[in-house]
Structure 1
Amino acid sequence: MLSAFRTGALRSIVQGHGTFKVLSVVPARNASAPSKQDRIDTWDYVNSVYFGPERDMKNFPHPTQPAQHEPVRMGVLPASWFEFFYPKTGVTGPYVFLGGMTLWMMSKEIMVVDHYFWEFPAFWAMVYWVSTSPKMGPKLKQYISDKIEMRKNILYERPLAKMRDAEEKNISNLQRLLEECETASFVNQAKKEGVELQLEAAYRQRLNTAFQEVKKRLDYEVEITNVKRKFEQDHMVNWIVSSVTKSITPQQEKESIQSCIQTLKQLASKQTAAA
């Protein structure tokens, strides 16, 4: 068996696997990198197919990684392999099969017993002893579990948390941009109302200007009418006074003066008697 591993078959498999990895990593020359929206659409399409109504979740459930390994026998062999033989061969069947398979491989020289052969059973014997040892087994298990948890934290949880924080930050930025876009409508409405107020103020100012101009013209007409009426009244009074003055003779003036004097004397005597 180990001699087969030392042949070129294993080397070709490893080299082929390495070539496949290189080909899977190197992109095509003319292929452009997909955008973020394209990756999201592809992810949604794959989820719709994988978790769609045609998926038989009862017979083919979603695969999950168990937290602990399956029960094992002899330190490394799964217990389910042994239970497969029990209904047909009994309890000793798996061990007989394992021994017979080993003898068959040695007879066919698939497993060659040479100087390197003892490395294989010695290695697995050491693994079995370490895994079943009450002192080293739990410590080794705890050490490997810590390493797995640390690797899981480094390769999975930490990048996922970083991506989650980055996406939450992007979501908050987008929400802030949406709020800014919403406030833009209010700013536009406020500017529109401000322009309407300016137009209303200009309209009222023009109405006031038109009112003042019309009032000035009406006041001018009223002033013209009042001046004309006053001029006519003054002219009429002056004409009547001058006409009356011209019609009074000197004799009438003298008699009028004497009458006034007599009236004043009577008033003076009455005032004295009353005192």
Structure 2
Amino acid sequence: MLSRILFKAGRPVSSCVRVAARMSSSTPSTLQVVDKNYPARVQDWENFKMPGAPYEGMGPLPPVPDFDENSVRHYVIPEYWFDFLYPRTGATGLYTLMAGFSAMLVSKEYFIYTPDTWYAATLLLTVAGLNKMAGKDIRNLFDNMRTDELKALDQVKSDQMEDLKQTVDEIKLEQWRSGSAEMINDALKNNLAMMLETEYLNRQAAVVEAVKRKLDYQVEVQKVDSQLAHG
């Protein structure tokens, strides 16, 4: 008899379930893929986006959004279900729907009570009570643990960045030294060329001096021969 409450809204259960599923599927998604095919060669790394990535560019991942407690009721029921059924069935429409659906499952023997059912109900009540009493403290504890892990990862990243920067500076220094070595080699080549040119000029001057002495000797010999011939 209680299963008839399900038809109070004027539509069967299956249609209500389909409408709720359609609403859940029609919610806007924040994941938008820019490129469907991976490019063979990326030119613009700043605006490039990996296919299926939930963020723009190649920068760091965006921060994880905080959980909004007002988005669900009783930890599992979405709030927009209540917003959808409120103008049709009133504030208690979803609760009536759930109660009628549960009654139908029990009355039609789709769901049969067993001792495990009470164990599961006790476990759910215990978890709900613990969440009510210490849920925030436990959540803050896990948030702090995650924050510490993120800080440790950031520290490792910073250390690696410093090592990479130091490596880049060393490479630049070696490149500068290689450029200085080329300049030194050019200077040595110029000095060697000047030394060779100086040696060539010295030898040329020595040859000219030797030829001049021989010519002077021949001139003196001619003078002596002419004096002896006229004397």
The separation in 2 between residues aligned to 1:82 and 1:138, in whole angstroms, is 25
Match in the other structure for 2:213: 219
- 1:86 alignment partner, SS class: helix
Q: Which runs of 5+ in 2 are unaligned?
A: 1-38
Give the number of the structure whose residues are more often helix, by fraction: 1
Match in the other structure for 2:66: 67
The separation in 2 between residues aligned to 1:74 and 1:98, in whole angstroms, is 13
Match in the other structure for 1:123: 123
Match in the other structure for 2:142: 144
The separation in 2 between residues aligned to 1:232 and 1:194, in whole angstroms, is 57
Q: List per-residue Cα deviations over 1:84-128 (Å, max 9, x = no partner).
A: 321221110121122122222323434321111112322222233
CA distance 1:65–1:74, change in 2 (3 Å)? same
Question: Aligned Cα RMSD in Å?
Answer: 4.2
For 1:199, which of 193, 196, 201 is the aligned residue?
A: 193
Match in the other structure for 2:11: none
Q: Is the 8 A contact 1:75 1:131 kept in 2?
A: no
Match in the other structure for 2:27: none
> Structure 1 length normalisation: TM-score?
0.50
Match in the other structure for 1:259: none
Higher relative contact order at CA 8 Å, sep ≥6: structure 1 or structure 2?
1
Match in the other structure for 2:174: 180
- 1:130 alignment partner, SS class: helix
Q: Relative to structure 2, which stretch is displaced further, 174-183 or 204-213?
A: 174-183
Q: Is the 8 A contact 1:70 1:78 kept in 2?
A: no
Match in the other structure for 1:47: 49
CA distance 1:105–1:139, change in 2 (3 Å)? same
Give the percent of matched residue pairs that are identical in Structure 1 and Structure 2: 18
Q: Which runs of 5+ in 1 are unaligned?
A: 1-37, 52-56, 240-275
How many residues in Structure 1 have an aligned counterpart in Structure 2?
Answer: 181
Q: List per-residue Cα deviations over 1:206-241 (Å, max 9, x = no partner).
A: 1111112211331343356468768988x8xxx8xx
Which protein has the larger Cα radius of gyration, Structure 1 or Structure 2? 1
